[in-house]
């Protein structure tokens, strides 16, 4: 491609709110076969709400919610915000934890009111040696509803199963259809639970799901998709997406996402939704066609 045509292409993209930070991405994007997409904040709004809390025998609903909120009070995870707002809405006092620890990809641990509280995914409970099978049917149902189940342990006893729901962005289904119309394969890459991710994939008609990916595993997920020499574009918004954005053949950052993600992207979508992706790909194909 000539430098002039790339300048024209990137200029037209900018008018559509698609920022090419690297001119060569305009050419690479044309040959992308798979679009791997982060779930939380990219396909979904990234603003989950607490929808469920079922306590284990011997635990009181409000006591558990207040302790879970204390465990999440200092966390920056979107799930934490959902839990804290729910406790506030219930009029509960949220104690300030004495000791807070974020366990990336797992959850949180705090010491509060003389108790140790853990909140997080089933694998966090597994790490504590806690059996969550009393909540097995709840977990299946919640996951199938597209909600993310999480668990609370108080002083090393399983206290509750909770769930948060993160609605799909209004523009996502149409963007997914446009990507399929361009002949692309789509994959979800997420740290979230498998059933939840599969429910979202089913709803959107996305064919591949890489779930329960730990924060440092997103790069490996991209490499796996690249296996047969296929070109991958990765779309994401979070701090934990930055390495995958860099590892992909083309990294596409959501412009409303974190600074780290934006700096790691070859392409930035200013509109904050997925719709820039099919636009950018269509433009990339048209630009390169004109050059030939």
Binding site for ligand ADP (CB under 6 A): 39-40, 72, 75, 77, 79-80, 105-108, 119-121, 148, 150, 190-192, 215, 240
Q: How do beta strands 99-103 and 107-112 pair?
A: antiparallel
Q: How far is the CB of 146 from ligand ADP (least distance, A)?
A: 13
- Which listed range, 39-47, 139-147, 163-171, 191-199, lies at the site for Mg ion (CB under 5 A)? 39-47
How far apart CA 176 and CA 37 sit, in angstroms, is 10
CB of 255 to Mg ion, least distance (A): 13
Write out the two tokens for 51: 């929808």
CB 198 within 8 A of CB 209: yes
Nearer to Mg ion by Cβ, of 83 and 112: the residue is 83
Partner interacting with residue 150 (select from ligand ADP, Mg ion, none; CB below 5-8 Å by kind): ligand ADP
Q: Which does 77 bind (CB under 5 to 8 A by kind): ligand ADP, Mg ion, none?
A: ligand ADP
- For helices 194-204 and 136-144, give the axis angle rounded to 10 degrees: 20
Report the nearest approach of Mg ion to the CB of residue 80 (Å). Answer: 14
Which C-beta is closer to Mg ion: that of 97 or that of 217?
Answer: 217
User: With binding defined as CB under 5 A, does residue 238 bind Mg ion?
Assistant: yes
Counting contacts by CB under 5 A, is residue 48 touching Mg ion? no
Q: Which is nearer to ligand ADP, 106 or 275 (CB)?
A: 106
Tokens of 243: 């390495």
Distance of closest approach, residue 120 Cβ to ligand ADP, in angstroms: 4
288-to-18, 94, 203, 234, 281 alpha-carbon distances in Å: 17, 57, 34, 21, 11
CB of 38 to ligand ADP, least distance (A): 7
User: Which residues in the 78-107 window bind Mg ion by CB under 5 A?
Assistant: none
Question: How many residues would you count in the chain?
Answer: 292
Catalytic-residue membership of 38: yes
| Residue 166 in contact with Mg ion, rule: CB under 5 A | no
**192 is a contact residue toward Mg ion (CB under 5 A):** no
Angle (nearest 5°) at CA 173 between 169 and 174: 110
Q: Residue 231: which residues within 8 A CB-CB, separation 6 or more?
A: 28, 31, 32, 33, 34, 249, 250
- Minimum distance of Mg ion from residue 22's CB (angstroms): 22
Find the catalytic residue in 38, 166, 192, 266: 38
Contact in structure between 78 and 191 (CB atoms under 8 Å): no
The residue nearest ligand ADP at its CB is: 191
Give one DSSP letter per residue of 157-194, joined into a string.
EEEEEEEEE-PBPTTHHHHHHHHHHTT-EEEEE-SS-H
- When asked if residue 40 is in the footprint of Mg ion (CB under 5 A), the reply is yes
Partner interacting with residue 29 (select from ligand ADP, Mg ion, none; CB below 5-8 Å by kind): none
Q: Which residues bind Mg ion (CB under 5 A)?
A: 38, 40-41, 237-238
Residues tagged active-site: 38
């Amino acid at each position: 491609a000539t430098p002039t045509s790339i300048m024209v292409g990137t200029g037209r993209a900018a008018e559509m709110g698609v920022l090419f930070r690297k001119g060569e991405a305009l050419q690479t994007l044309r040959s992308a076969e798979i679009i791997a997409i982060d779930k939380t904040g990219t396909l979904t709004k990234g603003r989950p709400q607490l929808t469920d809390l079922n306590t284990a025998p011997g635990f009181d609903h409000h006591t558990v919610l207040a302790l879970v909120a204390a465990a999440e009070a200092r966390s920056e995870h979107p799930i934490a915000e959902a839990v804290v707002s729910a406790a506030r809405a219930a009029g509960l006092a949220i104690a300030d934890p004495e000791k807070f620890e974020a366990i990336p990809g797992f959850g949180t641990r705090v010491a509060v009111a003389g108790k140790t509280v853990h909140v997080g995914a089933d694998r966090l409970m597994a790490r504590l040696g806690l059996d969550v099978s009393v909540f097995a049917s709840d977990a299946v149902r919640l996951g199938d509803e597209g909600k993310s189940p999480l668990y609370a342990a108080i002083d090393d006893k399983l206290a509750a199963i909770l769930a948060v729901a993160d609605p799909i962005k209004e523009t996502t289904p149409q963007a997914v259809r446009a990507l399929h119309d361009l002949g692309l394969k789509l994959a979800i890459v997420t740290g979230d639970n498998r059933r939840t991710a599969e429910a979202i994939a089913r709803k959107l008609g996305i064919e591949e799901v890489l779930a329960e990916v730990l924060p440092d595993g997103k790069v490996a997920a991209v490499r796996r998709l690249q296996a047969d020499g296929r070109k991958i574009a990765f779309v994401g918004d979070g701090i934990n997406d930055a390495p995958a954005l860099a590892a992909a053949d083309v990294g596409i950052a959501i412009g409303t996402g974190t600074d780290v993600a934006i700096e790691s992207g070859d392409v930035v979508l200013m509109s904050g939704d997925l719709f820039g992706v099919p636009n950018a790909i269509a433009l990339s194909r048209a630009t390169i066609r004109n050059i030939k």
